[in-house]
C-alpha cells in the first residue's frame, strides 16, 4: 500500500462521530494537496475492507457529494444519527474536524 493511501486511511479513521472532513482537507493532510479525487477513489475501493467512516467525508462546499438519491439519504441519515444537523449544506465552522498535523506525521 502506498504511503498516501495509508495516511489517507489513518486520517479518515480518525474523524470522530459528529464531525466531518472534506476530500481536499484529507488530501492535504495526507501529503498531496491536489489529490482530492484520489481520496474519493480510496473511499470507494477501501471503505468496506478498512471499515472507514465514509459518511463523514464531504465536499468543499459542505455538501454530500453523491448524486444518487439513495446514497445521498443514506449518508445524510448516518450523519444526522451522529448529531450533524443540516438541510443541504453542513456548517463547516461547527462540524469540521481539524486534526493536528502532528498527529498525521506521528502516524508515519
Is the confidence at residue 35, as pLDDT, over 70? Answer: yes
User: 52 near 14, Cβ under 8 Å?
Assistant: no
pLDDT number for residue 66: 86
By C-alpha distance, which of 44, 46, 35, 32 is closest to 1? 46
Q: Look up residue 56 and give its three cell numbers.
A: 463523514
What are the chain's domains?
3-100 (1.10.10.10)
User: 3-state class of 24 per DSSP?
Assistant: helix
User: 3-state class of 57 per DSSP?
Assistant: strand
Is the confidence at residue 92, as pLDDT, over 50? Answer: yes
Confidence category of residue 104, pLDDT binned at 50, 70, 90: low
Taking each helix axis as running N to C, give the angle between helix 3-14 and helix 36-50, from 0 to 180 degrees, rounded to the nearest 10.
70
What is the pTM assigned to this prediction? 0.89
Amino acid at each position: 500500500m502506498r504511503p498516501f493511501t495509508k495516511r489517507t486511511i489513518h486520517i479518515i479513521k480518525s474523524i470522530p462521530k459528529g464531525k466531518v472532513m472534506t476530500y481536499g482537507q484529507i488530501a492535504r493532510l495526507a501529503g498531496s494537496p491536489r489529490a482530492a479525487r484520489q481520496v474519493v477513489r480510496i473511499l470507494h475501493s477501501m471503505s468496506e475492507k478498512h471499515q472507514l467512516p465514509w459518511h463523514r467525508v464531504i465536499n468543499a462546499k459542505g455538501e454530500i457529494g453523491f448524486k444518487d438519491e439513495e446514497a445521498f439519504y443514506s449518508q445524510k441519515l448516518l450523519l444526522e444519527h451522529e448529531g450533524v444537523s443540516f438541510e443541504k449544506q453542513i456548517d463547516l465552522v461547527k462540524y469540521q474536524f481539524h486534526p493536528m498535523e502532528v498527529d498525521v506525521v506521528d502516524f508515519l
